[in-house]
Amino acid sequence: MRSSNIVSLKGRLLPPKKSILFVNPDFQCSFFLKNQFRKIGWKADVYKQSGYPEKLLYSWDYITEKAVFQDIGIGRLTNRLIFFLKLIVDYKYFLVYGSPEVFIVFQNKDSYTIYRKSSPELAILKLLRKKIISFPTGCLEEVLYRDFVEHENGRVCRNCGYEESVCNDEKNLRSFRLRNKYFDFHIANTPIPSKRVNKEMVRYKSLDLDEYHPHIEIPEQFKMSANQGLFSAMASRYGLNLSIVLRRWFICLYSFSVRFFR
């Protein structure tokens, strides 16, 4: 009787082996992957932090912190702690999109010395043998500004939509320290070589290897004939007009050259 109670308690405290949480929505991708994981029997959810812009949400099927106590002072700390403990119990894998500074339990973390070189929350996940996977939002989470600004003599950085203050090397160095210290795997978002993290480029992705695999048969309607070029195949299938396409390509190339080589 006692052993069965222990097994029952263990089952409630340990997360399912097939469980994953997508931390911070990667636009529509996190929701697509969540749905596919669920189809093959996984427990899968998307976690939205409170500051995430709702206008960027692809779906409302996500989890977030719930206020059990009044959300001020010690009540807010208790709410965050309860939510963090629930995540520990519910999930084995954590795929973090963007900043590694997630699940901040303590308010005003910058006032705590411990947060300067470490993350108590990530350390707890690591101690409990959770698998933490990093997926960057872009170049600022793969390389430092001082490294990337040398690429193409700085022309790429000058044409970036972000302000230089976003690519703060001091802040990003801390981000790289956390990734290298706590994360188990780094998925590359770009093919840019990195001196800061050992990242892996995912070239083929499938959740159902019985159906989707490198040797899958291509349906006949998607095959080109031996004497048919790529454009003519696309034109016949999608009704593309050659003059319209060429005109749009010319406009795009002209706009790019004016901006890039000014």
Q: Record the pTM.
A: 0.72
Per-residue pLDDT, 85: 92
Which residues neighbour 125 within 8 Å (Cβ) at sequence distance 6 or greater?
Answer: 88, 94, 103, 132, 182
Q: Does residue 211 fall inside a structural domain?
A: no
E-assigned strands of 136-198?
185-186
Are the C-beta atoms of residues 133 and 94 closer than 8 Å to each other? yes
Whether 22 and 128 share a structural domain: yes
Whether 59 and 103 share a structural domain: yes
Backbone φ and ψ of 245, nearest 5°: -60, -45
Rounded-to-5 percentages of helix, strand, coil across the chain = 45, 10, 45
Backbone φ and ψ of 22, nearest 5°: -90, 110
Residue type, 78: T
Question: pLDDT (tens digit, 0 to 9) for every residue of the chain, 262 residues total?
Answer: 454 444 343 445 578 889 999 999 988 889 989 999 999 899 999 999 877 888 888 899 999 888 787 777 788 888 888 899 999 999 999 999 988 888 877 755 555 555 567 888 899 999 999 999 999 888 888 888 888 888 778 777 777 777 777 888 888 888 899 999 999 999 888 778 888 888 888 766 666 767 777 788 878 877 766 666 655 655 565 555 555 556 666 566 655 554 444 4
Domain interval for residue 246: 220-260
Q: How far is CA 189 from CA 38, 66, 97, 235, in A?
A: 24, 32, 10, 31
Per-residue pLDDT, 260: 47
What is the DSSP-derived secondary structure letter of residue 24? Answer: S
Per-residue pLDDT, 46: 95
Whether 130 and 240 share a structural domain: no
Whether 47 and 147 share a structural domain: yes
DSSP per-residue codes, 94-135: EEEES-S-----SSSGGG-GGGTT--HHHHHHHHTT-EEEEE
Which residues neighbour 187 within 8 Å (Cβ) at sequence distance 6 or greater?
Answer: 133, 134, 135, 136, 199, 200, 202
Whether 81 and 26 share a structural domain: yes
Count of domains for the chain: 2
Whether 224 and 158 share a structural domain: no
Per-residue pLDDT, 261: 47
Residue type, 30: S
The sign of the dihedral angle between the CA atoms of 76, 80, 85, 90 is: positive
The sign of the dihedral angle between the CA atoms of 129, 177, 150, 257 is: positive
Whether 225 and 157 share a structural domain: no
Q: Provide the token pair at 139.
A: 């170049």
Whether 73 and 143 share a structural domain: yes
Whether 233 and 167 share a structural domain: no
Are the C-beta atoms of residues 27 and 58 closer than 8 Å to each other? yes
Q: Which residue has the tokens 């002209």?
A: 254
Q: Does residue 210 fall inside a structural domain?
A: no
Whether 28 and 120 share a structural domain: yes
Q: Does residue 191 fall inside a structural domain?
A: no
Whether 140 and 61 share a structural domain: yes
